[in-house]
Structure 1
């Protein structure tokens, strides 16, 4: 059994987790630039193909809550190995799919594999490194996760330009094989001495409520249901999630322990992160559509216009720990969230006469803000969590992150469809106006979400930026 003290684990574990997160996040957006091409190939409209994107992200959100229980019972190494293997095989299935329904099914399987990769990898990082190193290690690991969704449209656009859309799924195969080799040599095997029982009731309530809500957001954009049916199903989804909250507060071993939200830093990080991701979650889907359907760029050029965001994430990543140590979590998260919302709104000024240099500059600013935002939120979630609760905290944070990204993508598509009305998606002027309005709405929502970070105290997160702070597990959580 590999342990955290084994030679090479602390050196190579961040690389392993970063590689797997890169593969998972790359796949979540690599199809975005290819959507118009895939739509033509499969004989459907581009906006209707968002099911291929949302089904993957939704499967992540549904599968993540179980991953924590699996890791506690079977160990991080076995679960991580199985997850990467499932993800790799499902990628091959996506590339071989013959129609949209087959592709959606394969994407769901992909998402379930990814659902076990993301939280288990982060859990291994949290349990391997002391609290004083957690910010730097999380910052290192989050960069591949940021580059993945930003680079995905670029890679997807180039592949579609030179080959076919099917090849975009095969890029995961060599990465998956490399990850499996690294897992065998460098993945620690953490497990619980007394694993909790699986909360089947909570699993049914939470997953059904989350799935129904996300599906409703999708079909609202296509107007498949009348207002009465939509309202009833929306109320049902809220009722299921409310029933889960009632159940979780009375269960000795809930699927997601909502009592952790009493910890202020965790509550603000996860809650504020959910609101912020709702605002920016639609960007990886909307921008490629804006570039191709609105501005008339080919897929390869649309993909390249997403690349500056990835470059910015790499450039700015080294600054995040220094900025947090200089200004603190509260000030950085508040100011950066407002800045990010403003930049998103500035995309509404882009039209066919806008110089490419301006678009590149805006993309660079978005990538910079994303890098700081996610490095800050992901590390702050564990600032005051003790070691006994780290697995559950990681599961909740990962679940809320994926749910918010799924809802953000669905909301972005819903806004675009709403503002477009019944006009054809081939009308460039109408598409530009609709996406301008959607981007302004997303930017405003992001700015409003900055208010959630005012609940932080100036000293919150000090344990993460103080090199002399105690390791994870030696402090009790702050609950006020």
Structure 2
């Protein structure tokens, strides 16, 4: 079978800059769309005469569809060819974006977002296969890849705020159309068609159903845990059923010759360790991206746009860090690059303890930029280590496994941390209320989002209490980073020659 990841340029060299941009357009748009809609939900609810709770499904439907279809990407790549499936997914995602912008009511928008998520699911693993596989970038993440992929989570909230304020909520979907079309044109022009996949690869329908159902149910259950309680009747059946389905999939996949996602790839110790560390680093990254804007708006009093802008330097510095990580990995090896990176990440995360009620935005942005540099030094070498022991035919499965693990581990880890934060925040605020002799909360939940409704005389005291809850959670993140630092010492230390 012709390897589906042989995407070299027609002259036999690695992927051109135009090809890299085309392959990054899909992942960038998919990752931005995971966060950009959040800031637009109030406007969407008003514009389509919906409740905010109903509009929330515009976000949830996208994420659940993305999780459900993610495990199917490896089969599609092996059966039909990576380039062909990537191009179809990118153009389908672009068309679904146009449908979202033209939605006449909330039901249509939710359905279009689910379609958008399902079509966007293969974009990240397939792009990684072509960028990191044979004939791509020599199994080294290109500098442009790091810059765009790590800028995406940071740019989403800020971009959403600007577009909604200037052009209305449909613009956050319409902007995908020209970018998606340009990305598709770049792939057609600059990425060679390797000749298709292998039609003898059979679909693992049982495995796909188990994996899709498990990922969707586990993700939905994890999303409701922090707000409703992990053992609430509306939550625990979902994460419990999702966990059972994922367990059944593991038993099924280990007995199949061609499973939907090959778990036997975890027999490579370095790949398994690298995937675990990537999940850990992703939790540390995305939880702060989720939590800090909330803290800045509800405690420090900044707008959503201002909070989003503070995240931008981190995304840019992280992209620059991937360039440095590439250089250091080639010269000194994975372990000697990742261990210092994890050390900087631990110290940079601990520096978040300096962020408080009156912290200026420049200091917050500086702390985040230090973490961004560390993330660039860790993620890029870990991605190389993930596929370093895999042969060409295993790369599609390896990338799918990496993305499934990151999606599942990230959702569960962030949800558990959010629960811990809310518990600690509530305890500190209730203690502060008793300390100032304030009246009870009337049965409503006390949290950062409710500080604005409290008497002005106690707001500062309660904001400091909320900050204490934030700092308690930072200490947990520091412990997680320290655990990753210890695990990173077990990585292989061999340097990889450039272009290998």
TM-score range for the pair, normalised by the shorter chain length: 0.7 to 0.9
Residue 154 (structure 1) aligned with residue 186 (structure 2): no
Provide the rounded CA distance (Å) in 2 between the counterparts of 1:288 and 1:69.
38
* Stretch moving more, 220-229 or 179-188: 220-229
Provide the rounded CA distance (Å) in 2 between the counterparts of 1:341 and 1:104.
39
* Stretch moving more, 369-378 or 452-461: 452-461
* Stretch moving more, 115-124 or 7-16: 7-16
**Cα offset, 1:245, TM superposition:** 0.9
Q: 1:157·1:302 contact (CA, 8 Å) conserved in 2?
A: no
2:31 aligns with: 25
Residue 84 (structure 1) aligned with residue 107 (structure 2): no
Q: Which of 263, 267, 270 is matched with 1:265 structurally?
A: 270
Deviation string, structure 1 residues 129-159 (Cα, Å, up to 9, x no partner): 378x32253x442321111111222212222
- Helix, strand or coil: the match of 2:72? helix
Task: Mark the CA change 1:194 to 1:266 in structure 2 (over 3 Å): closer, same or farther.
Answer: farther
Deviation string, structure 1 residues 225-248 (Cα, Å, up to 9, x no partner): 854674454433222111111111
Provide the rounded CA distance (Å) in 1 between the counterparts of 2:483 and 2:175.
40
Unaligned runs of 5+ residues in structure 1 are: 472-480
* Rg (Cα) greater in structure: 2
1:106 aligns with: 112
Scaled by the length of structure 2, the TM-score of the pair is: 0.82
Q: Which of 158, 180, 189 is matched with 1:185 structurally?
A: 189
Provide the rounded CA distance (Å) in 2 between the counterparts of 1:378 and 1:123.
11
**Cα offset, 1:325, TM superposition:** 4.1
Q: 1:209·1:241 contact (CA, 8 Å) conserved in 2?
A: yes
2:256 aligns with: 251
CA RMSD of aligned residues (A): 3.3
Provide the rounded CA distance (Å) in 1 between the counterparts of 2:126 and 2:136.
17
1:171 aligns with: 175
Task: Mark the CA change 1:92 to 1:289 in structure 2 (over 3 Å): closer, same or farther.
Answer: farther
- Helix, strand or coil: the match of 1:382? helix
Q: 1:51·1:218 contact (CA, 8 Å) conserved in 2?
A: no
The number of residues matched between the two structures is 465
Aligned pairs for 1:100-249 (under 5 A) are 102-129=108-135, 133-137=138-142, 139-190=143-194, 191-193=196-198, 195-223=200-228, 227=232, 230-249=235-254
Residue 423 (structure 1) aligned with residue 446 (structure 2): yes
- Helix, strand or coil: the match of 1:10? coil
2:469 aligns with: 437
Task: Mark the CA change 1:3 to 1:374 in structure 2 (over 3 Å): closer, same or farther.
Answer: closer
Q: 2:154·2:308 contact (CA, 8 Å) conserved in 1?
A: no
**Cα offset, 1:36, TM superposition:** 6.0
- Helix, strand or coil: the match of 1:165? coil
1:15 aligns with: 21
2:301 aligns with: 296
Deviation string, structure 1 residues 301-349 (Cα, Å, up to 9, x no partner): 2222122112212433321123334553224334433532443454354
Provide the rounded CA distance (Å) in 1 between the counterparts of 2:297 and 2:30.
25
2:439 aligns with: none
Provide the rounded CA distance (Å) in 2 between the counterparts of 1:56 and 1:462.
40
2:498 aligns with: 467
**Cα offset, 1:381, TM superposition:** 0.7
Task: Mark the CA change 1:291 to 1:445 in structure 2 (over 3 Å): closer, same or farther.
Answer: closer
Provide the rounded CA distance (Å) in 2 between the counterparts of 1:369 and 1:49.
36
Task: Mark the CA change 1:452 to 1:340 in structure 2 (over 3 Å): closer, same or farther.
Answer: closer
**Cα offset, 1:206, TM superposition:** 1.6
Aligned pairs for 1:398-409 (under 5 A) are 398-409=403-414
**Cα offset, 1:10, TM superposition:** 2.2
Provide the rounded CA distance (Å) in 2 between the counterparts of 1:285 and 1:241.
26
Provide the rounded CA distance (Å) in 1 between the counterparts of 2:108 and 2:351.
38
